[in-house]
Every structure is written in structure tokens, then in C-alpha cells.
Structure 1
Amino acid sequence: MTALPHDSVRAAWTALRTATPMLHLDTAACGRTSIATRAAITAHLELEAELGGYVAEAQADAETTTARRLLGELLHFATDEVALLDSGSAAGAQLLAAWPCEPGDRVWIAPSEWGNNIAAFADRGLEISVMDVDDHDHVDFEALQRRLRTERPNMVHLNAFNSHRALAQPSREIIEICAAADVPVVIDTAQALGHIEVPAGAAAVYGTGRKYMCGPRGVGYVAVREPWQQQLTPRAPAVNLGGQAVRNLESREAYVAGRVGLATALRQHVEIGPAQIRERLGAIGRALREGLADLPGWSLVDPVDAPGSIVALLPHEDIDLYQLRADLVARKVVTTVSAKERAPLDIVRPMLRLSPHVDFELSWIPQIRDLLTARHR
């Protein structure tokens, strides 16, 4: 097993955080916030207590603008094409509510689509159609091109990176194919931002800052490119704030302290180096899958060389994964169970998800193996 690249990235990332007794393998749920991020949140809360929430919000305008600018740069959007919301789910819901579509319009998805998104499409009255995929579960380019010759959906929706396993759709190529047919591509980037490269060219993207970006909970984002911004029709509970159409998706009642904290987390991410972070995360995922490939009682869901740091494990026996997760937490290891509702068209049986960040060390793999094989001895 080769050494992990960019030890300087690990050192810089770790130096920004307090020490923890836990082995965090749950970044795909929540990354660990830095000391400075928490300090920025606390400082703004103090300001709200002294000046009042709305006066403090006005004074934080430069920081929230910084958050929009840095998100835009990482996602390939302009600052005034980015809005801040309460979560990735809230961002997706507000975007879908304002999107130029009517009940009965079609949205094309991959079989691995996030379950909450499928429910949101149905609630909006959209007709869901599943795209063909190849042997690697990626959208089939030739099948997509053939279908676009005779059909035109309202949008193609993608998860840039899946929540439950190491599956990244080829977003760049799909955007290019759909652009030739004048079909917008909308991307859920919740698991992709700070994890894998997000390509330019999507009509809109949305997500949350609490995962690989390690921002606070309670802050999400949506970015919409022109000319799609002018086709948005913001609906309640959005409040018209004036200015760019996408900003009208922002709620007037906001977790401003969290937005200030996200600005700090974004700055730190950029200062360490997004490309180096992505490269190290990819190497960690490969090393962890390689180290667990022959784990007794378990099978890898994805190939060893799959992208990103998410590792999905399927137990051979019918065991209670929720109890296993609780047992692991008691042993100071944090993981997640991916049940069918996460991706109802893709998940057949619940699986265990590991998702480390750049602080992961190869020396931790034997400990993980021991914990997961204990029940098979």
C-alpha cells in the first residue's frame, strides 16, 4: 500500500482543529469544523446580542458576500449567481419551487438518485424518468444522445457524487451532451463540493456546506446561471430581497452566524488547496477500500479504484447495522448506515458507509478491520 499524498495538507487541516478522541469516518454527514469557524460563529452571535439581529446581519454583509464569492469560484459561478439558504435540502426545494416547470413535465435522473430528491420531484408534480446506465452505473452517453434526439425533458438532474457509495456521475460529459440539445442540467453537489472536482456549465447547482467543506450545520447554497435566473419564479417562503433573481430564493430569517462561519471554512479550504485536498481524499478512499477488500463477513460495494473517500460495505449476514453503528460510536468510531431510503432505486440492502477526511492515516486501517470483524470471530 503506497503512502498517501500531500501530508502537508493533512498537517494544515489538522492544525486548524481541536484534537478529538473519535475516529471520524462520517464526513459525508458532517465534517469537523475548525476553531476559527466556531469562533466566527460565536463572534457574530455576540454581535447579534449586542446590536440586534438585523443590525448585526448588515455588518456581516462583507462576510456573507465572501461566502457567495468563494462558493461561486469553487462551483464555477459568479458571486451574484449564488444564494445562501438553510441546507442543501432547503436549497433544492426552493430551486425546484421557483424553476420554470409545470406538473407533468419530465425530469431525467440516474438510478442512483438521492431519495429525498425523488420525493421532491414527485411533490412538484414532475414525471420522473430513469436514464440508462453502463456497467459502471454511469449514465450511458450513447443512450442519452439517442434519447435526446426524440425527447426533451424539462431538466436532467444529477448527483455529482452519491451519498451512499463511491459513485460519481460523469457530469462534465453529460452537461456537454445536454447543452447540444438545449436541455438544462441541474446538479446536487452536496457530496461533491470539496470532495471531487465540480465541472462548469450546469444551469444550476445546490448543496450544503457541512460535509467535505467542514462548515457549520444549517447553511446551504444554490447557484443559478443566466439566463435561467430570469426564468425563476420565487415562491413562499422566499422573500423578495431585490437584486439578482437567485437572491430572492434566500429566506429573510436566516442563520447568519452560520453563513459567517461558512465564509471562514471556505477561506481555509482555499488556502490549504482544493486540488490537493481532492487528490488526498481520492487516495484515502482507494487505500481504505484496498485495506478492507478482503474483510471477513463484508464486501465492498464499489471497486477499489472508485473516486473519492466514501467507502461502502455490505455485510454478508443480516445484521442490525444501526446497532453496529451505535457500538462503533461507543468505541469512538463514527460511521453512517445507508438504508434504502437514501437511494431507493439503487440500494437493495442497507450498507455501512465510511467517509474520512484528509486527516485519515493508513495506520488506522487495522483498527477498523478489527472492529468490523469482531462479530465473525
Structure 2
Amino acid sequence: MSDSDELADRWRAARPPAAGLHLDSAACSRQSFAALDAAAQHARNEAELGGYVAAELATPVLDAGRAAIAALSGVAEAQVVFTTGSLHALDLLLGSWPAESRTLACLPGEYGPNLAVMAAHGFDVRPLPTLDDGRLALDDAALVLANDPPDLVHLTPVASHRGVVQPLSLVARLCRELELPLIVDAAQALGQVDCAVGADVVYSSSRKWMAGPRGVGFLAVGAAMMQRLRPRLALPEWASALSTARQLELGEANVAARVGFSVALGEFLACGPGVVRARLAELGGHSRTMLADVGGWQVVEEVGEPSAITTLAPVDGADPEAVRNWLLAERRIVTTCAGVQRAPLEMTAPVLRISPHIDTTEQDLEAFAAALAEAPGRA
């Protein structure tokens, strides 16, 4: 048995059996028994001991989760804030940024809801130059950023609508050279791309490649950057002595979800981040090779793209949403239809996306390819 097969078997055995074929980890992965049990046990502790007592008892687990986040994000002197997800993290960050300096550079393929948050906080968004496949044109971007530096650079290393991997480490180096703060939206990247490149801020969700619960995420901010933030909500006098990180985290919280997320992070680290990333990249290559000959669809990414995401664009009139619904109803295969709202400055038509996790087999991919070839809806 190969190391990849052993890793896949371990991941699969740690989870309830899927009720069908799950190829949607970029949307929401399958949680493990350990993560589910930890969250459930915390909820029981709340019922038996009291919510605040249970939260205090969970401190070691949550601290371990924060330490795992700091390690995976690679943010220097990271101060970690639990959030309800990626969008909440960005909202907290941009809402706390000084009002007098609000210019931000990002890719044209930026996630639509992120653009909405940027606009809501009054940021002047400037597009960075890209190549034909949506990848950052690094040399051109260096000139743009040097000649007219923004207050912030925001990079989404792997987008919601396409599995192209951006040159994150090179962007981080460029931003350090230009002394520009770099914010990384790692919602799709964390787990399948090494995000520990020295960014000033990294934020992400629990439910994707980390395979934690829904409704929880994080914001990891470097100490120097944290000093520049001013939480937008006025605090009562009793809270004025709290650190900025703790002020950002104030409010009602699903502590059970944070506990489950912390356990999922530990499981991911135990598997070996580099090993998991290699397996996911391998699956992406297998998927694209297998799907290249399915009629009516074009694979968007290159075969060797180091990502597990494969995007399929219809070429003869198929409706990705209708196909996604048919696959679920008739074949019990879970996929995603990505509409143009995911990248409104770049997309012109919806696409179908699959995102297998490390327990996916070649037989699973063959079954999907066969089902896709049978799917109705072509012109």
C-alpha cells in the first residue's frame, strides 16, 4: 500500500461514511468523529456545568487551536481571533483599519462577497494586473505597487471559482520589499497551499480543507499590524483593558464549534501538512486528466496545477446549476455550481467545480466522470 493510500484510508476511517460521493471540500468538508464528538461533548458540558464554566474549561483546547493556526498561517507574532468564518474575519479587519488610509489592491478575480465588504468599509479597490489564466502578473504588479502603493494588498491565493494557485510566497516577498501590508484570504488555500509565507494577516474558515465545523473561522494578525487596528465598536469601560485581539473576539460565540475546529486542526497537523498538500495536488492532476475527454466540458486548470480544485466550463450549452442538481438527485454526487457572483469582475458564465479531499479514490473520480458524461442539459 502506498503512503497516499494509507493516508486516504486513515482520513476515511476517521469519518462517518459518506451518503454518496462527496466532491465538494472547497465548499464544506466532512468532519471527523473526533471533531464531532469534541463539539458535542462541549455542548453537553454547557448543559451540565454552565456555558461560561464550560468555556473556561475549554481554554487549553482553544489555546492549542490558536497555536495550530499561528503555525499554519506563518504570521509573525500572530494574535489569533476566532470568528464565525472568513467573511466575518475580513469584516472585523477592514472595519478596524484607520479611516484615513483606505486603498486596497487585489486581483480582478476577487471573491464577490469580499468586494462587498471592502466597499462597505469605504475602500478604494484597485485591480492588480493578471495573465490570461487569472494568475498575477508578478513583474507588472511590482511596477504598479511601487509606483502607486496602496495602503493594503489583499491576495486570495486560490479563488472560489477556479483552482489556479497564485504565487503567494513571491507576493509576500514583494510586499516586504515594498513595505506594504499583505492580507491573505486563505479560505480555499489553507490545507492545500503552504500559507506560512510571512504575511501580515491571514484569515480563513474551518469548514473547507481543515474539515472542521461550519460557523467558525479565524483572523491571525501580526503584532505590528494589530497595533494599527482600532475596533469600530465602542467598548464599555470594563473592557478597555482588553487587548485589541480580545476586543475583536468579544461577543456571543459558538464555543463548541471552536472546540471542534481546534480538534480538526490538530488532526490535520498530525497527518502532516506537506503530505496532505501533495496528496491533494495529486488528486487534482488525476481529476483533470480523467475529465479532459468528457464531452461538453472544458477543464479550466492546467493538469499540473498544485490544487485539488477542478473547474469545468460548459462548451455546448449545459447549465452547470442544472447539472449540479441532477448529479446530487440522481447520482448522489456532491459538487458546486459557481455563479458569476463569486467573481463579478471576472466571470461571465457559471461553472461546475469539484474538490475531492484526500480520501477520494480514482474509482470515485471515474464514477464522477461517467456520471458527468450522462448528465442531461446540453444544447
Q: Fold conserved (TM > 0.5)?
A: yes
2:365 paired with 1:368: no
1:245 positional shift: 2.1
**Distance in structure 2 (CA, Å) of the matches to 1:31 and 1:196:** 16
Matches within 5 A, 1:79-94: 81-94=79-92
2:98 paired with 1:100: yes
**Structure 2 residue identity aligned to 1:340:** V
**Structure 2 residue identity aligned to 1:170:** P
**Distance in structure 2 (CA, Å) of the matches to 1:237 and 1:207:** 26
Identity %: 35
Matches within 5 A, 1:61-80: 61-77=59-75
**Distance in structure 2 (CA, Å) of the matches to 1:340 and 1:284:** 26
TM-score by length of 1: 0.94
- 154-163 vs 316-325, which deviates more? 316-325
2:183 paired with 1:186: yes
Q: Secondary structure at the match of 1:227?
A: helix
**Distance in structure 2 (CA, Å) of the matches to 1:237 and 1:92:** 19
Output the aligned Cα RMSD.
Answer: 2.0
Q: Secondary structure at the match of 1:63?
A: helix
1:178 positional shift: 1.6
**Closer, same or farther in 2 for the Cα pair 1:145/1:135, shift >3 Å?**
same
Matches within 5 A, 1:1-377: 6-77=4-75, 81-102=79-100, 105-236=102-233, 240=239, 242-330=241-329, 331-374=331-374, 375=376
Post-superposition Cα deviations, 1:46-100, rounded to whole Å, max 9, x if no partner, equal 1111122111111111111111111111111367511111111111111111123
1:238 positional shift: 8.2
Post-superposition Cα deviations, 1:114-170, rounded to whole Å, max 9, x if no partner, equal 111111111111111111113442222221222233211011100021111111211
Post-superposition Cα deviations, 1:329-348, rounded to whole Å, max 9, x if no partner, equal 12210000001000112211
**Closer, same or farther in 2 for the Cα pair 1:238/1:32, shift >3 Å?**
farther
Post-superposition Cα deviations, 1:255-310, rounded to whole Å, max 9, x if no partner, equal 10001111111111111111111000000001000000111011011111112100
1:237 positional shift: 8.6
Post-superposition Cα deviations, 1:207-247, rounded to whole Å, max 9, x if no partner, equal 10110000000111001112111111012398858554223
Q: Secondary structure at the match of 1:21?
A: coil
- 317-326 vs 91-100, which deviates more? 317-326
TM-score by length of 2: 0.94
Gaps of 5+ in 1: none
**Distance in structure 2 (CA, Å) of the matches to 1:273 and 1:242:** 39
Q: Secondary structure at the match of 1:231?
A: coil
**Distance in structure 1 (CA, Å) of the matches to 2:75 and 2:125:** 27
Gaps of 5+ in 2: none
Residues 338 and 352 in structure 2, CA contact (< 8 A), matched pair in contact too: yes
